[in-house]
Structure 1
Amino acid sequence: MLWKEEGIVQISLWNINLKVRLIGEALFNMLFWMYFPFITVYFGAALGNHIAGILMTLPPIFSIIGVLLGGALADRLGRRPVMLLGASIQTMMFASFAVSPSHWIDYIAFIGIGLGGALYSPASSAMVADLVPACNRRQIFATFTTANNIGAVLGPALGAIFFFHYRQLLLWTCALVMFLYVIAIYFIIHETRPQTAKQPEASNSIIQLFMEQWKGYGIIFRDKVFLIYILAGIFALMVIMQLDLYWAVYVINEVPAQALFTWIRDSLILSSTEIFGWLLGLNGLLFVLLIFPVTKWFLHWKDRNVFILSSLLSGVGTFSLGLNTNLWYLFFVTVIFTFGEIVRSPVTQSFISRYAPDYARGQYMGANSLQHTIARFLAPVTVFLSNWVAPVGIFSIILVFAFISIVLYNQLFKIYVEKPEAAN
């Protein structure tokens, strides 16, 4: 496998495993974003918003179980079998969703789709770390992030039409894409688990196997460096996740309708809801356009500095949102916030792929996913508090989250000495 020393790698030089995964995951993420943003609305209309709100608290719990189990199995059984299992579960759940006669079966299928994705994710990330030298990982992870975000930009616009008017067709298409991807994994993708990873003993029962896996996670979470890294990531992500949480509440409720452009006799007036849509669109567009250049600009920066810069920009950008309601000012603030989000993205996975030992890489990748799941569970606290706290107070709390993450990242790299990437 050929890799350019400066860390910028042409896709034509990628291992076949990575090429197949890039195409498969890009297609699936496009379809994912065509249904995911509307799923709460769907269950709310069918079962009532109160019940839907309660039901939506359960998927993160299954995601936690899925990523931990998926990471452990990836080290035990290999990356390829776990990816096959996760993708197969998603295929079956999409088909079940498509033919379901009941909203409760729809909900079970939705949880199953999330569980399959959670099983798949750590094995997929571990495979990248297995195949790619440390000096190239940021760029590879940035490529996969870009593919995902193209779907995040285009998917909701298409989904607004297809999910509500052609839902069965959309779900069958998702099932077909996943089925074809399962076939591609089976026939094309080869195993990459290092020889140092644990081999399952034939005498082990299923119960013994699961007990050993959970014991392994206990050891990981007693790792002080890793634990501080997870805590820092939770606070950093709680800031970044406000984009589709408190940002929406603030912009829709506090920002007045105003003109985007003004002509001699006319102007294009955007409502508060439309302004929020434009901010989301700008965020997604900037992510797609800038992820590669930004990754290249910061290629030789230490992880410590990148993490701290990311938390600072996203925190300051979010806090600044509450200082003015002018539309073009909000666009400027969104650029600052998005830059902080972009800077962080490829470094997160490349850091943990270097830190994790070869024999437990899947487990570390699974545990690493917890920071996103826990942050997603805690981040809505700002929306809850907004019933009693003024916007300036909420934005101050968010800024405090950012500073806590900065303090934790600073502490992390006091006890963990970064190694040159080329040496990994």
Structure 2
Amino acid sequence: MSSRPVSLAGMVPSVFLPTLIFEIGMGAIMPMIALSGLTLGASIGTAGLLLALLGVGQILGDVPAGALAARVGDRRAMLIAAGIAVVTLLGCVMATTLWQLALAVTATGSTNAVFNLARQSYLTEVIPVGLRARALSTLGGMSRVGAFIGPFLGAVVVYDRPVHYVYWLALVCAVIAGLIVLLVPDVSEPAVAREHRPAPVSVRSVMVRHRRVFLTLGLAVFLVGSVRATRQTVLPLWAEHLGLNPSTTSIVFGIVGLVDTLTFYPSGKIMDYAGRLWIAVPSMLVLGLTQALLPLTHGLVSFTVVAMLMGFGNGIGSGILMTLGADVAPPAIRSKFLGVWRLCADSGSAGGPLIVSAAAGLGSLALGISAMGVTGVVAAAALLRWVPRYSPFATTGTRSKGSAAAKDPEPGGSGPDQAGTRGSPVTIPEPADRDPSQSR
């Protein structure tokens, strides 16, 4: 593979395009999973649980995804994920009982974890440090664009057909994404692949050795994940509370999704030029404060304005967790570390909506929403406290003249836009959290 300087444009065919297509398929099935359950005789509560199983599958797949990518490589891991996704989606099509559909949906969520983790790990390895935030924000943006486009394509597919036809659309997307990964060569080989690989390290040892990172910054990541995911729950619930009809709610969701997808690249640019906290903290503050304000809305206009601000807060945070993971992950065990890192975020994504749902069940939806608003502020404070401790780019842009990013962290490099700066952070404060055998 070539070791020429890597650009974002050069990443489009091998990284961003397959991710976009795969996520279109995932986005298409998300609104239809619950409906599929209803056609098989599920109650409304059980149908909602089926949708939650997609996230459960992703949580279950996070750590194994890191181990698989470390063992077979990022590219092969993506091919395996796409192949298994074809099987699991075929299972969704052919399911005749609820337990069959539940099993297939859970397994599909796990393939999504593998696919995304593998691309994140590869991009972290090969992208120049000076482009890291923009690259990972764009990768996160592809997921958002896919989630935005997917439901519209799914609606076209099932317009005059049974609901389960949407799984055929997702299956085709998985096949196309896999073929792109197979046929389009990666633009560069990961640096770790070119070097002598260290002895295999277990996931458990990664968690133990870096427990301080996961118990501090990882907790902040958990909170971020919970606040982000909760917005998907609180908006439809509060819309129903206000008496808005489903079509109006869908239009508002479309507007929010558009705002969300338009802001990922500018936020990545700010993170690269000014530092991670300039986006991470405002994103959480906006999300937290808008969720706290949501119970104060009493009509369509105020609801739409707050929802759009919520979409803006989420959109500017696109890629921030992946970027921070790239900053702190030790190069020699990057895939396994990122698997645990994603577990922290996805666990929060599953836990946040449960808090709101439980509060709604107890008769105080507004209290549950407000509690998550407070969680957003706490998440901002946690990021402000812990990001500077572990990321060398917390308040210093990777492309700032004279910044740490401009210094070559590895022998033979020649600046932030050259191959020698790929893949690893300049330093990680917390020497006790690092394995001396992994120093380079």
Q: What TM-score, normalized by structure 2, do the two folds share?
A: 0.79
- Asked if the contact 2:262/2:315 (under 8 Å) is kept, the reply is no
Taking the aligned partners of 2:132 and 2:165, their CA distance within structure 1 comes to 37
Taking the aligned partners of 1:76 and 1:37, their CA distance within structure 2 comes to 34
Structure 1 letter corresponding to 2:283: S
Per-residue CA deviations over 1:397-418 (Å, capped at 9, x if unaligned) read 1222112212321221353362
Does residue 324 in structure 1 map to residue 297 in structure 2? yes
Q: Aligned match of 2:213 in 225, 234, 244? A: 225
Q: Aligned match of 1:113 in 108, 111, 116? A: 108
Does residue 149 in structure 1 map to residue 144 in structure 2? yes
Deviation at 1:221, TM superposition (A): 4.9
- Asked if the contact 1:71/1:365 (under 8 Å) is kept, the reply is yes
Deviation at 1:378, TM superposition (A): 1.2
Identity of aligned residues (%): 18
Which SS does the other structure have where 1:245 is aligned? helix
Match of 1:266 in 2: none
> Kindly tell me: are residues 297 and 306 of structure 1, through their superposed partners in 2, closer, same or farther at Cα, counting changes over 3 Å?
closer
Match of 1:37 in 2: 31
- Asked if the contact 1:30/1:152 (under 8 Å) is kept, the reply is yes
> Kindly tell me: are residues 147 and 407 of structure 1, through their superposed partners in 2, closer, same or farther at Cα, counting changes over 3 Å?
closer
> Kindly tell me: are residues 157 and 217 of structure 1, through their superposed partners in 2, closer, same or farther at Cα, counting changes over 3 Å?
same
Which SS does the other structure have where 1:325 is aligned? coil
> Kindly tell me: are residues 276 and 58 of structure 1, through their superposed partners in 2, closer, same or farther at Cα, counting changes over 3 Å?
closer
Deviation at 1:382, TM superposition (A): 1.1
Greater alpha carbon shift after TM alignment, 190-199 vs 124-133: 190-199
Q: Aligned match of 2:66 in 65, 71, 80? A: 71
Q: Aligned match of 1:234 in 222, 226, 232? A: 222
Structure 2 letter corresponding to 1:307: A
Could you list the runs of 5+ residues in structure 2 that have no partner in the other structure? 399-404, 408-424, 426-440
Deviation at 1:166, TM superposition (A): 5.0
Match of 2:177 in 1: 181
Which SS does the other structure have where 2:185 is aligned? coil
Match of 2:410 in 1: none
> Kindly tell me: are residues 68 and 410 of structure 1, through their superposed partners in 2, closer, same or farther at Cα, counting changes over 3 Å?
same
Match of 1:337 in 2: 310
Structure 1 letter corresponding to 2:378: I
Q: Aligned match of 2:80 in 82, 85, 88? A: 85
Taking the aligned partners of 1:160 and 1:139, their CA distance within structure 2 comes to 32
Deviation at 1:200, TM superposition (A): 8.6
Structure 2 letter corresponding to 1:319: A
- Asked if the contact 2:21/2:176 (under 8 Å) is kept, the reply is no
Per-residue CA deviations over 1:176-227 (Å, capped at 9, x if unaligned) read 34234333323433553614888597xxxxxxx8xx53323433551x2343
> Kindly tell me: are residues 193 and 96 of structure 1, through their superposed partners in 2, closer, same or farther at Cα, counting changes over 3 Å?
farther
RMSD over equivalenced CA pairs, Å: 2.8
Structure 1 letter corresponding to 2:192: P
Which aligned pairs between 1:185-204 and structure 2 lie closer than 5 A?
Answer: 185-190=181-186, 192=190, 194-195=192-193, 199=197
Taking the aligned partners of 1:197 and 1:103, their CA distance within structure 2 comes to 48
| Regions of 4+ moved over 6 Å | none
> Kindly tell me: are residues 326 and 376 of structure 1, through their superposed partners in 2, closer, same or farther at Cα, counting changes over 3 Å?
same
- Asked if the contact 1:27/1:177 (under 8 Å) is kept, the reply is yes
Per-residue CA deviations over 1:110-167 (Å, capped at 9, x if unaligned) read 2222222222221210100111012112222232333322232232233234247255
> Kindly tell me: are residues 386 and 179 of structure 1, through their superposed partners in 2, closer, same or farther at Cα, counting changes over 3 Å?
closer
> Kindly tell me: are residues 336 and 378 of structure 1, through their superposed partners in 2, closer, same or farther at Cα, counting changes over 3 Å?
same
> Kindly tell me: are residues 391 and 36 of structure 1, through their superposed partners in 2, closer, same or farther at Cα, counting changes over 3 Å?
closer
Greater alpha carbon shift after TM alignment, 234-243 vs 278-287: 234-243
- Asked if the contact 1:352/1:368 (under 8 Å) is kept, the reply is yes
Which SS does the other structure have where 1:386 is aligned? helix
Per-residue CA deviations over 1:79-113 (Å, capped at 9, x if unaligned) read 12212211111122223433455554333322222
Greater alpha carbon shift after TM alignment, 98-107 vs 110-119: 98-107
Taking the aligned partners of 1:196 and 1:356, their CA distance within structure 2 comes to 18
Does residue 291 in structure 1 map to residue 257 in structure 2? no
- Asked if the contact 2:135/2:268 (under 8 Å) is kept, the reply is no
> Kindly tell me: are residues 240 and 134 of structure 1, through their superposed partners in 2, closer, same or farther at Cα, counting changes over 3 Å?
same
- Asked if the contact 1:314/1:402 (under 8 Å) is kept, the reply is yes
Taking the aligned partners of 2:205 and 2:343, their CA distance within structure 1 comes to 15
> Kindly tell me: are residues 163 and 35 of structure 1, through their superposed partners in 2, closer, same or farther at Cα, counting changes over 3 Å?
farther
Taking the aligned partners of 1:284 and 1:332, their CA distance within structure 2 comes to 13
- Aligned residues between the structures: 390
Which aligned pairs between 1:4-403 and structure 2 lie closer than 5 A?
Answer: 11=9, 14-15=10-11, 18-49=12-43, 50-55=45-50, 58-100=53-95, 102-163=97-158, 165-167=161-163, 169-190=165-186, 192=190, 194-195=192-193, 199=197, 213-219=202-208, 221-222=210-211, 224-253=212-241, 255-256=242-243, 271-379=244-352, 380-403=354-377
Deviation at 1:356, TM superposition (A): 0.7
